[in-house]
């Protein structure tokens, strides 16, 4: 009987991860619709790449604060209910983007969407952690990041077709539709997470200070942010650069597809390797690849060679996305994850803020290619910080 119960728990575990994977690919497929056109969409209102960067930086700053505000909400509420609420608000925001034309309304809805996305990220990450065994966390993260990036891979070509036929309205309606499908499947699979903390940490400033008191959390925070820093180059500055070089949305969609191919194929193998040999070497090599790639792009004048180098750089991203998030959970005690996972995700916003704001200033005075040097310097810095990481080997841990 005990064997049957154990087997039942194992089946439930795999069912939950499989269900989360399906939900994840629908969410990222939807998000890829919006992210593919987002910079160009904002540029249609602001008509200046520097202004687009500054506005994105403002949203990022607001997003940073919201992650700390969400701590007591995450600790005392069911994560599945928070996730569902965040999806509903996101669907509403996409529908509004499809029909509104007023620039101030666009800014307000963008703020709502930012808050909804943050809550979704925090709730979903905790659900994945709670549904994973300790020794399998990196591998499960690898599976899910492969799935995430599959959504990003499939989305841009579809966006290119939809935008050519229905303009931005069709893109936002499509994004809302696939997000609604994600909501339906999440409900249909009955994925629940009722884990809560008896003690609620509601003091925003104390949570901020306590998070950064532990060296291992700080290292995890820095390393987790470097990946998001890099994606700003791909999804914000490269679209602006390409459109000003005369490339249309079809070329932009093709660029995204090629860049994402390594990030779809390799996260699970690298996460599995990390769980066997430890994560430190994976971090160092991954960030070194990104630094070298950015430096090479600076020296190139042929846009197609730049394409090729950035595609190769995504091998580095594949080494880092899943393993850096798993590393945060690995260095956190069980009770700390509920309190500190939302603050950990502010690394997304902190790095987005710097990666949007600093290059925006640079572009006021220097040509676009100077951005590559800036990204190379930052990636080299992340590679150096990787040397401070614990070399955790998950395969040796107990469940």
Provide the pLDDT for residue 211.
Answer: 78
Residue 73: both structure tokens together: 């909400």
pLDDT score of 5: 29
- pLDDT digit of tens for each residue in the chain (399 aa)? 333 223 333 334 444 667 888 888 899 889 888 887 887 888 888 777 777 777 877 887 888 888 777 777 877 778 888 889 999 999 999 999 988 888 888 889 999 999 999 889 888 887 877 776 666 666 777 777 777 778 877 877 788 778 777 788 889 999 999 999 999 998 888 777 666 555 555 566 777 788 788 888 899 999 999 999 999 898 888 888 887 777 777 777 788 888 888 888 888 788 878 878 878 889 999 999 999 999 999 998 888 899 899 999 999 998 998 788 888 877 877 667 667 777 888 888 788 888 888 888 888 888 888 899 999 999 999 999 999 988 766 555 555
**pTM (2 decimals)?**
0.73
Token pair 């990636």 is at which residue? 379
Query: Cα separation of 176 and 172, whole Å?
Result: 6
CA 292 to chain centre: 22
d(CA 76, CA 293): 44
Retrieve residue 109's tokens.
């809805």
pLDDT of residue 3: 32
Output phi, psi for 90, to 5 deg: -65, -40
> Within 13 Å of residue 75, how many CA atoms lie on the same side as its CB?
22
Q: Which residue has the tokens 């069912």?
A: 15
Q: What per-residue confidence (pLDDT) applies to 133?
A: 67
CA angle 324, 330, 333 (to 5 degrees): 135
Q: Is 263 exposed, middle or buried (0-12, 13-18, 19+ CB in 10 A)?
A: buried
Under 8 Å between Cβ of 150 and 321: no
pLDDT at 13: 44
What's the 3-state SS for the chain? CHHHHHHHHHHHHHHHHHHHHHHHHHHHHHHHHHHHHHHHHHHHHHCCHHHHHHHHHHHHHHHHHHHHHCHHHHHHCCHHHHHHHHHHHHHHHHHHHHHCCCHHHHHHHHHHHHHHHHHHHHHHHHHHHHCCCHHHHHHHHHHHHHHHHHHHHHHHHHHHHHHHHHHHHHHHHHHHHHHHHHHHHHHHCCCCCCCCCCCCCCCHHHHHHHHCCCHHHHHHHHHHHHHHHHHHHHHHHHHHHHHHCCCCHHHHHHHHHHHHHHHHHCHHHHHHHHHHHCCHHHHHHHHHHHHHHHHHHHHCCCHHHHHHHHHHHHHHHHHHHHHHHHHHHHCCCHHHHHHHHHHHCHHHHHHHHHHHHHHHHHHHHCCCCHHHHHHHHHHHHHHHHHCCCCCCCHHHCCC
Nearest CA-CA partner of 225 in 112, 113, 337, 321: 321
Cα 42 to Cα 275: distance, rounded to the nearest angstrom: 41
The residue assigned the tokens 């901020």 is: 208
Q: How far is CA 132 from the centre of its chain?
A: 20
The CA angle 59-61-66, to the nearest 5 degrees, is 90
Measured distance CA(66)–CA(249) in Å, rounded: 33
Report long-range pairs for 301-304 (Cβ below 8 Å, ≥24 apart): 303/242, 303/245
Q: What does the domain layout of the chain look like in residue ranges?
A: 2-394
CA neighbor of 231 nearest in space, from 373, 114, 148, 355: 355
Side-chain-side CA neighbours of residue 329 (13 Å): 24
**What number does CATH give the domain 2-394?**
1.20.1250.20
């Amino acid at each position: 009987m005990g064997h049957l119960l154990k087997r039942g728990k194992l089946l439930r575990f795999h069912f939950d991860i499989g269900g989360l994977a399906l939900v994840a690919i629908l969410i990222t497929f939807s998000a890829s619709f919006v992210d593919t056109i987002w910079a160009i969409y904002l540029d249609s209102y602001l008509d200046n790449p520097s202004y687009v960067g500054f506005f994105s930086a403002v949203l990022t700053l607001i997003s940073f604060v919201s992650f700390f505000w969400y701590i007591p909400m995450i600790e005392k509420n069911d994560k599945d209910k928070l996730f569902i609420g965040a999806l509903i608000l996101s669907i509403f925001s996409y529908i509004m983007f499809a029909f509104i034309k007023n620039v101030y309304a666009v800014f307000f809805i963008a703020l709502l969407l930012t808050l909804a996305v943050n809550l979704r990220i925090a709730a979903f990450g905790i659900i994945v952690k709670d549904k994973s065994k300790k020794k399998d966390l990196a591998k499960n993260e690898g599976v899910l990041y492969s799935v995430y990036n599959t959504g990003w891979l499939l989305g841009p070509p579809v966006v290119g077709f939809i935008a050519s036929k229905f303009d931005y309205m069709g893109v936002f309606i499509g994004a809302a539709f696939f997000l609604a499908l994600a909501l339906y499947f999440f409900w249909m699979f009955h994925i629940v997470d009722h884990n809560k903390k008896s003690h609620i940490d509601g003091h925003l400033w104390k949570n901020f200070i306590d998070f950064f008191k532990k060296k291992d959390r700080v290292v995890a925070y820095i390393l987790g942010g470097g990946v998001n820093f890099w994606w700003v180059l791909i999804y914000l500055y490269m679209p602006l650069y390409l459109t000003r070089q005369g490339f249309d949305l079809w070329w932009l969609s093709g660029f995204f597809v090629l860049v994402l191919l390594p990030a779809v194929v390799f996260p699970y193998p690298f996460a599995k390797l990390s769980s066997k040999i430890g994560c430190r070497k994976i971090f160092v090599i991954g960030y070194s690849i990104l630094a070298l790639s950015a430096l090479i792009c600076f020296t190139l004048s042929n846009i197609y060679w730049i394409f090729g180098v950035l595609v190769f750089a995504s091998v580095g991203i594949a080494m880092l996305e899943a393993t850096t998030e798993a590393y945060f959970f690995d260095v956190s005690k069980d009770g700390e994850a509920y309190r500190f996972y939302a603050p950990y995700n502010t690394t997304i916003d902190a790095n987005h803020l710097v990666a949007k704001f600093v290059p925006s200033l640079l572009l006021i005075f220097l040509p676009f290619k100077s951005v590559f040097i800036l990204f190379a310097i930052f990636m080299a810095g992340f590679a150096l910080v990787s040397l401070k990481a614990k070399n955790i080997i998950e395969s040796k841990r107990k469940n």
